[in-house]
Amino acid sequence: MTNMLEVEDLTKIFVIAKDADLIAVNNISFSLKRGETLGLVGESGSGKTTVGRCILRLIEPTEGRIILDGEDITELDAKRLRDLRTNMQLVFQDPFGSLNPRLTVSQTVEEPLTLHGMKRAERAERVAEMMRLVGLSEHFYHYYPADLTASEQQRVGIARALATKPEFVVLDEPTSMLDPSARAEILELLRKIQHELGTAYIFISHDLTSVAKISHRIAIMYLGHIVEHAPTDIIMHSQRHPYSRALLSAVLFPDPERAPDPYVIEGEIPTAINPKPECPLYGRCPIRQDACMSEVPPMVEIEPDHFSACRRWRDVAASTQA
């Protein structure tokens, strides 16, 4: 299958002040196939949200190309871009905040269709289809967002995003503000939708376990870089980047028998303002060498379909904390 979406050398720099460039996204590339889910995992400040916004051009990328179905969308004008929005959508982190409090559920779901120029009768039919898809019955149509539980609100957000049947949807932390049971419901719903409609997802989250449940592949981000990128199984079981390993070992599995991996990285994520040309993890890395300081390590395909940006990827599994 060919790639539906290709992101090449994407960079986003926010100029904060004179001589202060915040490099939120630093030269990253990845691709997405039809009907596939790519998980984008990182902590706050990793640039994962900015990546999502750039792909949809809700934020203008500073450099790089975003190719959707063979067309570079970084070059489109506002009109063409709006037409294309029917094909790429976004689901937000904040279920309530992302809904206009003055529009009813059905108005919210209908709007993208109206903008798309769909006829009234067809719109009504599509709204009904979407509401069924996300499991909201008819008596929800006239409710306002404030009438809904968080899980129901998020279903409305998903119905709105899927109304025009886009080829791919960016899911920006869609479950992070939900309780565990609501989170499980929404993840299950997203999986079902992908199965029925063949929608491709970019699932952005800080929660590796949620991402692993739904993604075919996972890219780990740190300080604007993708540091490791591989199929989900490999990321979860044989990480080849110290940050990936630390991220996984920080997961507290709900099972007292499964003791957490004592592999902890010290300190906190540094600033992305005017970063030094060195490995982004250098300051916190348990296996750093002097060579890591000389340049940003390039992504290397260490085995088929498994990329790591660590010079010492061979030592990651064996190393323990100093």
Partner 1 sequence: MWLRIKRTLRSLPKWQLGVLGIFFGILFLTIFGPYLAPFPTETADPLSRLLPPGGKHWLGTDENGMDIFSRVLAAPRTDVVIGVVATFISVVLGAPLGVLVALYESRGKAGATAFAETFMRLLEVMQSFPVFVFAMVLVAVFGGSITNIIIAIAFVNTPVFIRLVRSEVLSLVQRPFSEAARAVGNTEMRLGFRHIFPNAFPVVMVQVSVTVGFAILLTAGLSFVGAGVRPPTPELGAMIASGAKYLIIEQWWPALFPGVALGLTVFSFGIFGEILNLAMEPRAVRKDVDRRRTAALESGRGGGETAAAALPSALSAAPGGETPVLAVANLRVAVGDAGGQELISDISFSLAPGESMAIVGESGSGKSVLVKAVLQLLPYPLEVTSGTVHYGETNLVGMEKREMRKLRSREIAAILPNAKSQLNPLTTVGAMLVSALQAHEKIATKAALARAIELLEMVGITDPELRLGAYPHELSGGMAQRVCLALALMYRPRLLIADEPTAGLDVTIQRQVLDLTRNLARESGTARLVITGDFGIAAHYCDRVAVMQAGRIVEANQTQALFAEPRHPYTRHLLSCVQV
> What residues make contact with partner 1 under the rule CB under 8 A?
43-44, 56, 58, 78, 82-83, 85-86, 89-90, 92-94, 97-102, 111-112, 115-116, 143-144, 146-148, 157, 160-161, 164, 179-181, 183-184, 206-209, 212-213, 246-247, 249-257, 259-260, 264-266, 268-269
CA distances from 22 to 9, 250, 252, 272 (A): 17, 27, 32, 5
Nearest CA-CA partner of 51 in 75, 28, 85: 28
Smallest distance, partner 1 to C-beta of residue 159, A: 12
Residue placing its CB nearer to partner 1 in the complex, 90 or 299? 90
Q: How far is the CB of 94 from partner 1 (least distance, A)?
A: 5
Amino acid at 44: S
Tokens 């689901």 belong to 91
Give the residues across from 38 on adjacent strands: 202, 217
Provide the minimum distance between the beta carbon of 21 and partner 1 in the complex, in angstroms, as a whole number.
Answer: 16
Strand, coil or helix: 190: helix
Taking CA atoms, 191 is separated from 39, 101, 133, 134, 234, in Å, by 13, 28, 12, 11, 21
Minimum distance, C-beta of residue 301 to partner 1, in the bound complex (Å) = 26
What are the tokens at 172? 């920006």
Q: Which residues of 210-222 are buried (b: 16+ CB within 10 A; e: fewer)?
A: bbbbbbbbbbbbb
Taking the least distance from each CB to partner 1, the nearer of 82 and 120 is 82
Closer CB to partner 1, 149 or 294, in the complex: 149
Q: With respect to partner 1, which residue has the nearer C-beta, 1 or 78?
A: 78
Distance of closest approach, residue 143 Cβ to partner 1, in angstroms: 5
Query: Cβ closer to partner 1: 144 or 298?
Result: 144
Which residue lies nearer to partner 1 by CB, 26 or 151?
151
Q: Which helix (H) or strand (E) holds 265?
A: none
Amino acid at 161: A
* Number of other residues whose CB lies within 10 A of the CB of residue 83: 12
Output 26 or 89, the one with its CB closest to partner 1: 89
If the CB atoms of residues 36 and 110 are measured against partner 1, the closer one turns out to be 110
CB of 66 to partner 1, least distance (A): 15
What is the rounded radius of gyration, in angstroms, for the C-alpha atoms of the chain?
A: 21
CB of 294 to partner 1, least distance (A): 25
CB of 257 to partner 1, least distance (A): 8
DSSP 84-151: HGGGEEEE-S-TTTTS-TTS-HHHHHHHHHHHTT--HHHHHHHHHHHHHHTT--GGGTT--GGGS-HH
